[in-house]
C-alpha cells in the first residue's frame, strides 16, 4: 500500500542521498517530529526525577532529593521525618495504609473477645487463622512442621499437633498455657533398672493395651511391671494407661504414638523394638516459653490456630 502511495502521488520518494553501485539508493521515510520531542521530554522528566528523588551515589552517601520528605512513626513511637524513600513508605503504609487500618480494627476486636466468642464467630476465626498462619510459620514450624506434623523421618522428635491427642490438654486455656510458659516433656530412662527381657514384656503390654496383637504371656508379665513398683509406669500414665495431662504423659491406649514410631513399623518385632527403645532411653523434650518472644495477642492468635489444627477440645 505504501508503494501505491508513493508511486501514484507522483512525487519522487525522498532518499538519504547515498548511492551505491551507481543507482542503489536508500529510501528515507522520516519519523514524525513529535517522536523526537517525546524523547527529549523523557530526558527532561529524568532531570526532574533526579532532583526530587534519591538518585546519585557520591562518596559514601547519595543525593537525598529536594523538598520531598516522608513522615512516619518509628518503633519507639516517635515521629520521624526523613527524605523520601521506599523503606519509609513501606513502614508508613504498614502503619496507616488501608489494609493496615483494617487489620488493626480486626486485631482490636479479637483482643477484646473471649476464646469462646471468637470460636463462635466465623469472621473473626477466619482472620485469626490467616494471621496466625504466618506467626506459626515463623516461630513454631521449625519444630512442629509447617502443617503441625513432622515427616516420617523425624517421627517423635516433637509432638504432632495436627491430630487430636493433646499431651498437655487441648482446651484453649491449656494451649495458651503451653505456648506462654513452655513445657518440659520428661520420661525417665528405664534401661538401668529393667533388663532386656523386662523391657520386652513391658513393650508387649503397652502395645497390647492399644489394641495390637502381642504375646499374651509376655504382656501379662509386663502388666505386673507397669502396675507394680518395679516399673511404676502407672504413676504418670495411669493404671488404665490413659495418661496424665499435668505431666504431659501420653495416653497409651489410643491409636496415636507420639514418640515410639509404631505406625512406621511393619513387622511385629519392630513395633516392640520401637516401644522398647523409648522405655529404655526415656524421653526428654522441651518446648521453650514464648511469652518472652511473642506478644499476648500473637499468643492468642496462635492458640486459636493450634486449636483449629487438630480440632481442639
Partner 1 sequence: MENEQDQAVGHLYEARKSIFPRSVKGRFRDLKWGILAFAYGVYFLLPWLRWERDTGRDQAVLFDLVGRKFYLFDLTVYPQDIFWLAGLLMLAAYLLFFVTGIAGRVFCGYFCFQTLWTDVFVLVERLVQGERPARIRLSKQKWDAEKIFKIGTTHLLWMLVAFFTGLSFVLYWGDAPQLIGDFFTLQAPFAAYATALFLTATTYVMAGHAREQVCTYMCPYSRFQSAMFDSDSLIVSYDAKRGEGDKGRARAGRNLKTRETRTEAGVGDCIDCGYCVQVCPTGIDIRNGLQIQCISCALCIDACDTIMDSLEWPRGLVAYTSERQVSEGKRARLLRPKVLGYFAVLMVIVTALVWSVSHQQKFDMTISQVRQPLFVTLSDGRIQNSYEIKMNNKTGANLMLAFSLDGLPGAELDMGKFQAIILAPEQRLRLTARVRSHPDLLVGGSHSFVFRATPIKRDDLQEFMQNAVFTTP
Tell me the binding residues: 140, 143-144, 187, 233, 236-237, 287
32 binds partner 1 (CB under 8 A): yes
**Residue 38 in contact with partner 1, rule: CB under 8 A:** no
From 30-38, 216-224, 266-274, 280-288, span contacting partner 1 (CB under 8 A): 30-38
Residue 59 makes CB contacts below 8 A (sequence gap 6+) with none
Question: Alpha-carbon torsion 265, 268, 274, 275, what sign?
Answer: positive
Beta bridge pairs of residue 279: none
Residue 97 phi, psi dihedral angles, 5° rounding: -65, 165
Alpha helices in 61-195 (DSSP H): 86-96, 98-112, 115-119, 122-139, 141-144, 172-181
Q: Using the rule CB under 8 A, which residue among 111, 130, 284, 286 binds partner 1? A: 130
Which of 251, 261, 298, 303 lies at the binding interface for partner 1 (CB under 8 A)? Answer: 251
Our CA angle for 117, 180, 91, nearest 5°, is: 80
- Report the site for partner 1 in 208-237 (rule: CB under 8 A): 211
CB of 21 to partner 1, least distance (A): 16
Minimum Å gap between C-beta 15 and partner 1 is: 9
Which of 189, 226, 188, 186 has its CA nearest to residue 204?
A: 226
- Residue 242 CA to residue 253 CA, distance in Å, equals 6
Other CB atoms within 10 Å distance of the CB of residue 104: 12
Among 35, 40, 56, 58, binds partner 1 (CB under 8 A): 35
Smallest distance, partner 1 to C-beta of residue 261, A: 12
Q: How far is the CB of 125 from partner 1 (least distance, A)?
A: 8
How big is the chain, counted in residues?
313
What is the x/- site pattern for partner 1, positions 138-177, by CB under 8 A? -------xxxxx----------x-xxxx------------
Cell of 64: 537525598
Q: Which of positions 88-117 make contact with partner 1 (CB under 8 A)?
A: none
Contact between residue 280 and residue 187 where contact means Cβ atoms under 8 Å apart: no
Q: Coil, helix or strand for 128?
A: helix
Which residue positions form the known binding site for heme c?
Answer: 140, 143-144, 187, 233, 236-237, 287
Determine if 129 is a binding residue for partner 1 (CB under 8 A). Answer: yes
CB of 283 to partner 1, least distance (A): 18
Strands 69-73, 61-62: pairing is: unpaired
> How many residues contact partner 1, by CB under 8 A?
47
Minimum gap (Å) between residue 122 Cβ and partner 1: 5
Closest CA to 187 of 246, 100, 247: 247
Grid-cell match 483494617, residue found: 102
- Residue 74 interacting with partner 1 (CB under 8 A): no
Instruction: Establish if 2 lies at the interface with partner 1 (CB under 8 A).
Output: yes
Positions touching partner 1 (CB under 8 A) are 1-2, 4-5, 8-9, 14, 16-18, 28, 30-36, 119-120, 122-123, 125-126, 129-130, 145-149, 160, 162-165, 211, 251, 254-256, 263, 308-312
Amino acid at each position: 500500500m505504501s508503494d501505491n502511495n508513493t508511486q501514484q502521488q507522483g512525487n519522487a520518494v525522498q532518499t538519504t542521498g547515498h548511492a551505491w553501485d551507481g543507482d542503489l539508493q536508500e529510501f528515507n521515510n522520516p519519523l514524525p517530529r513529535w517522536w523526537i520531542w517525546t524523547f527529549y521530554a523523557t530526558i527532561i522528566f529524568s532531570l526532574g526525577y533526579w532532583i526530587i528523588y534519591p538518585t546519585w551515589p557520591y562518596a559514601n552517601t547519595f543525593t537525598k532529593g529536594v523538598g520531598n520528605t516522608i513522615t512516619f512513626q518509628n518503633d519507639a513511637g516517635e515521629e520521624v521525618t526523613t527524605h523520601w524513600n521506599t523503606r519509609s513508605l513501606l513502614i508508613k503504609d504498614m502503619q496507616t495504609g488501608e489494609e493496615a487500618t483494617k487489620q488493626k480494627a480486626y486485631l482490636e476486636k479479637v483482643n477484646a473477645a473471649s476464646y469462646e466468642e471468637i470460636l463462635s464467630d466465623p469472621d473473626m476465626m477466619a482472620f485469626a487463622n490467616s494471621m496466625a498462619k504466618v506467626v506459626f510459620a515463623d516461630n513454631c514450624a521449625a519444630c512442629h512442621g509447617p502443617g503441625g506434623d513432622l515427616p516420617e523421618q523425624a517421627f517423635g522428635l516433637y509432638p504432632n499437633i495436627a491430630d487430636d491427642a493433646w499431651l498437655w490438654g487441648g482446651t484453649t486455656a491449656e494451649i495458651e498455657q503451653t505456648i506462654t510458659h513452655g513445657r518440659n516433656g520428661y520420661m525417665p530412662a528405664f534401661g538401668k533398672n529393667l533388663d532386656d527381657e523386662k523391657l520386652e514384656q513391658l513393650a508387649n503390654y503397652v502395645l497390647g493395651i492399644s489394641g495390637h496383637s502381642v504375646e499374651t504371656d509376655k504382656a501379662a508379665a509386663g502388666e505386673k511391671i507397669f502396675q507394680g513398683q518395679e516399673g511404676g509406669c502407672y504413676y504418670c500414665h495411669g493404671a488404665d494407661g490413659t495418661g496424665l495431662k499435668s505431666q504431659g504423659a501420653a495416653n497409651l491406649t489410643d491409636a496415636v504414638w507420639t514418640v515410639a514410631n509404631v505406625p512406621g513399623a511393619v513387622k511385629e518385632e519392630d513395633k516392640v523394638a520401637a516401644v522398647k527403645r523409648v522405655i529404655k532411653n526415656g524421653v526428654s523434650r522441651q518446648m521453650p516459653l514464648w511469652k518472652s518472644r511473642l506478644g499476648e495477642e500473637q499468643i492468642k492468635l496462635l492458640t486459636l490456630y493450634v486449636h483449629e489444627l487438630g480440632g481442639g477440645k
